[in-house]
Amino acid sequence: MNWKIDPFPRMVFACFFLLTTNNLKAQSLAAGKHFIFQTNAGETYVFEPYKGATFKVIPVEEGITTIQVRYLSDNPKENRGPFSFTIDKKNLYWESGLDGNLFFPPVLNHTVEVKSDKNIMIFLNFGGHHLKNHHGGYAIPSVDGSGKLFYAWLVTSGDDQKPEENACVRIVALEPDTTITIKGWEDKRAYGKLKEKEQQTISMKDKKFLDLNYGNAWGFREISSTKPIFLYVTPDSYNNFTMLHPTYENGKEKYVGKEFYGGVNPFPERNFYPCLVVTCIDDNTEVYLEEMKDDGTVVKKTQATRILKQGEEYIFYLTSGVPWYHIVSTGDIYVYTSKTLLNGYPYIRDTLFLPDVNGVFRGTDFILNIGMETLAYSSKEDCELTVYSFDGNFSPFRMKLENGYSLLGCPRIYGTKQYLVSFETPSLVQFNTAYSMGYAFPVDSPVASVYFSSNKVRKITPPKQNINIVSKKEDNEYKNLPAEEKISRFKNEYLMNKKPVKIVAFGDSVTNSARVSGAKTFWQIIAEKIKEKYGYEGITCVNRGIGGNNVFHALSRIREDVVNEDPQLVFVMFGVNDGYRGMNLNVYEKNMRKIVEILENETNALIILLGPTPLTTKKDAFVEYDKIIEKLSKEKKIPYLSMQQILMKEPEWDKKLFTDFCHPGPEGHRIMAEDIWKFLFGEK
More confident residue, 392 or 554: 554
DSSP designation for 599:
H
Residue 3 pLDDT greater than 60, yes or no: no
Q: What CATH number is given for 483-681 in this structure?
A: 3.40.50.1110
Distance of CA 530 to the CA centre of its chain: 40
Q: Which of 134, 132, 127, 121 is nearest to 67 (CA)?
A: 121
* Residue 37 near residue 440, CB atoms below 8 Å: yes
- Phi/psi at 132 (5° precision): -100, 10
> Do the domains spanning 349-466 and 483-681 agree at the CATH topology level?
no
Domain ranges of the chain: 349-466, 483-681
In this prediction, residues 25-51 reach a mean pLDDT of 68
Strands 501-507 and 569-573: parallel
SS3 442: coil
**Residue 652, CB half-sphere, CA atoms under 13 Å: how many?**
4
Residue-wise pLDDT tens digits, 397-423? 777 776 666 666 656 554 557 888 898
Least confidently predicted of 391-400, 559-568, 584-593: 391-400
Residue 354 pLDDT greater than 70, yes or no: yes
Q: Which of 51, 143, 39, 46 is nearest to 93 (CA)?
A: 143
Q: Would you place residue 596 in the very low, low, confident or very high pLDDT band (cuts 50, 70, 90)? A: very high
- Rounded Cα distance between 298 and 201, Å, is 27
* Residue 189 near residue 91, CB atoms below 8 Å: no
Distance of CA 582 to the CA centre of its chain: 17
Alpha-carbon torsion, ordered 256, 258, 264, 267, to 10 deg: 120
Look at residue 99 in the predicted model and tell me its pLDDT: 84
Q: Would you place residue 40 in the very low, low, confident or very high pLDDT band (cuts 50, 70, 90)? A: low
DSSP designation for 84:
E
Least confidently predicted of 143-152, 537-546, 641-650: 143-152
Q: What percent of the chain has pLDDT over 70?
A: 78
- Rounded Cα distance between 675 and 677, Å, is 5
Look at residue 1 in the predicted model and tell me its pLDDT: 36
More confident residue, 501 or 195: 501
Look at residue 133 in the predicted model and tell me its pLDDT: 42
Q: Would you place residue 91 in the very low, low, confident or very high pLDDT band (cuts 50, 70, 90)? A: confident
Look at residue 583 in the predicted model and tell me its pLDDT: 78
Residue 229 pLDDT greater than 90, yes or no: yes
- Rounded Cα distance between 246 and 260, Å, is 7
Q: Which of 460, 368, 428, 351 is nearest to 29 (CA)?
A: 428
| Mean per-residue pLDDT of the chain | 81
- Phi/psi at 450 (5° precision): -65, -40
The sheet carrying 501-507 orders its strands as 539-545, 501-507, 569-573, 606-610, 640-641
In this prediction, residues 94-103 reach a mean pLDDT of 83
Least confidently predicted of 109-123, 239-253, 516-530: 239-253
Residue 524: Cβ-neighbour burial (10 angstroms; 0-12, 13-18, 19+): middle
* Residue 397 near residue 557, CB atoms below 8 Å: yes
- Fold of domain 349-466: Hypothetical Protein Tm1070; Chain: A (2.60.290)
More confident residue, 14 or 335: 335
Residue-wise pLDDT tens digits, 114-129? 999 999 999 887 554 4
Look at residue 164 in the predicted model and tell me its pLDDT: 59
- Rounded Cα distance between 369 and 391, Å, is 12
Q: Which of 246, 172, 178, 250 is nearest to 11 (CA)?
A: 250
Q: Would you place residue 346 in the very low, low, confident or very high pLDDT band (cuts 50, 70, 90)? A: low
- Rounded Cα distance between 615 and 381, Å, is 30
Secondary structure E strands in 162-246: 168-173, 178-186, 199-204, 209-213, 219-225, 229-234
Global pTM value: 0.78
Residue 25 pLDDT greater than 60, yes or no: no
Residue-wise pLDDT tens digits, 261-270? 988 877 777 6
Where does residue 88 fall: left (phi above 0), alpha (psi -120 to 50 degrees), or beta otherwise?
Answer: beta
- Rounded Cα distance between 186 and 192, Å, is 8
In this prediction, residues 525-553 reach a mean pLDDT of 91
In this prediction, residues 440-449 reach a mean pLDDT of 79
Which residue blocks in 562-584 are alpha helix, DSSP H? 576-580
In this prediction, residues 91-119 reach a mean pLDDT of 80
Residue 526 pLDDT greater than 60, yes or no: yes
Residue 361 pLDDT greater than 50, yes or no: yes
Look at residue 132 in the predicted model and tell me its pLDDT: 43
The pairs formed by 190-196 with CB atoms below 8 angstroms and a separation of 24 or more are: 190/98, 190/128, 190/129, 190/218, 191/129, 191/130, 191/131, 191/218, 192/131, 192/156, 192/216, 192/217, 192/218, 192/219, 193/218, 194/218, 194/219
Residue-wise pLDDT tens digits, 270-317? 677 888 999 999 999 999 999 999 888 999 999 999 999 999 989 999
Q: Would you place residue 92 in the very low, low, confident or very high pLDDT band (cuts 50, 70, 90)? A: confident
Look at residue 11 in the predicted model and tell me its pLDDT: 34
* Residue 509 near residue 658, CB atoms below 8 Å: no
Q: Which of 94, 96, 114, 216 is nearest to 165 (CA)?
A: 216
Where does residue 303 fall: left (phi above 0), alpha (psi -120 to 50 degrees), or beta otherwise?
Answer: beta
Residue-wise pLDDT tens digits, 447-466? 777 777 777 788 888 887 77
Pick from 13-17, 54-58, 106-110, 665-669 the range whose average pLDDT is largest: 665-669
Pick from 60-69, 435-444, 453-462 the range whose average pLDDT is largest: 60-69
Q: What percent of the chain has pLDDT over 90?
A: 39
Look at residue 282 in the predicted model and tell me its pLDDT: 95
Look at residue 634 in the predicted model and tell me its pLDDT: 96
Look at residue 4 in the predicted model and tell me its pLDDT: 37
Look at residue 209 in the predicted model and tell me its pLDDT: 92
In this prediction, residues 444-449 reach a mean pLDDT of 75
Q: Which of 510, 314, 486, 490 is nearest to 416 (CA)?
A: 314
Look at residue 162 in the predicted model and tell me its pLDDT: 63
